[in-house]
């Protein structure tokens, strides 16, 4: 029972860290990356789909994304979807290709993005702590049902606390890297 609980808790904590990594990848720095457009949706024959399902997305250079639609009529829709997204991007239509230059970040925008990153990190830490609380509650329930001893409960709680500390430290490391990346000019 205890090894299974620890394994499940650790897997859930790992998923929380992975979710944070995904969220941090969406916070843009001055550099271009193709994942930036992943959540931009465009209308395609009556349904909303991500841009990467109607076009090839490539990096032209470190500060420019190239979007090449598979169907010519989609160019205008994709261009409008990128422009209307909350990313603050302004694509340029070059006929066959949309060029999406990354604007330089101002100092104020960098500070705002740092706050966003810290908030994402705090949310992930709360998720980790909630998983710890749930695991500890399951241990208390097991003691009450007399399926494990109090000594086993204490040992398991210590191990779960070590897992919590490990993943919180990993989150702190990810946040520090992202903040450093944001503040670089």
Please list the pLDDT of the chain residue by residue as tens digits (185 residues): 888 989 999 999 999 999 988 888 777 666 677 777 777 888 888 888 888 888 888 888 878 889 998 888 888 888 888 888 767 788 888 888 888 888 777 787 788 788 888 988 999 999 999 999 999 999 999 899 989 898 999 999 999 999 999 999 999 999 999 888 887 76
For the chain, percent helix, then strand, then coil, each to nearest 5?
A: 60, 15, 25
Answer for the pair 25, 33: CB distance below 8 angstroms, yes or no: yes
Q: Are 24 and 55 in contact (CB under 8 A)?
A: no
Domain ranges (residues) in the chain: 2-26+106-183, 34-101
What is the assigned CATH class of domain 34-101? alpha beta
Structure pTM?
0.65
Q: CATH number of the domain at 2-26+106-183, out of 1.10.132.20, 2.30.180.10, 3.30.1360.120, 1.10.287.110?
A: 1.10.132.20
């Amino acid at each position: 029972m205890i090894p299974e609980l620890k394994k499940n808790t650790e897997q859930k904590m790992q998923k929380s860290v992975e979710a944070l990594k995904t969220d941090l990848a969406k916070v843009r720095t001055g550099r271009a990356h193709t994942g930036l457009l992943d959540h931009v949706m465009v209308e395609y024959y009556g349904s909303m789909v991500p841009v990467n399902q109607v076009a090839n997305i490539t990096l032209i250079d470190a500060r420019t994304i190239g979007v090449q639609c598979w169907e010519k009529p989609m160019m205008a829709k994709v261009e409008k979807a990128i422009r209307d997204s909350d990313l603050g991007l302004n694509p340029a239509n070059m006929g066959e290709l949309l060029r999406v230059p990354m604007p330089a970040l101002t100092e104020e925008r960098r500070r705002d993005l740092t706050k966003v990153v810290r908030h994402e990190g705090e949310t992930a830490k709360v998720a980790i702590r909630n998983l710890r609380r749930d695991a500890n509650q399951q241990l208390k329930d097991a003691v009450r049902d007399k399926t494990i001893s109090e000594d086993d409960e204490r040992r398991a709680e210590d191990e779960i606390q070590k897992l919590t500390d490990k993943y919180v430290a990993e989150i702190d490391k990810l946040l520090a890297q992202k903040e450093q990346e944001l503040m670089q000019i």
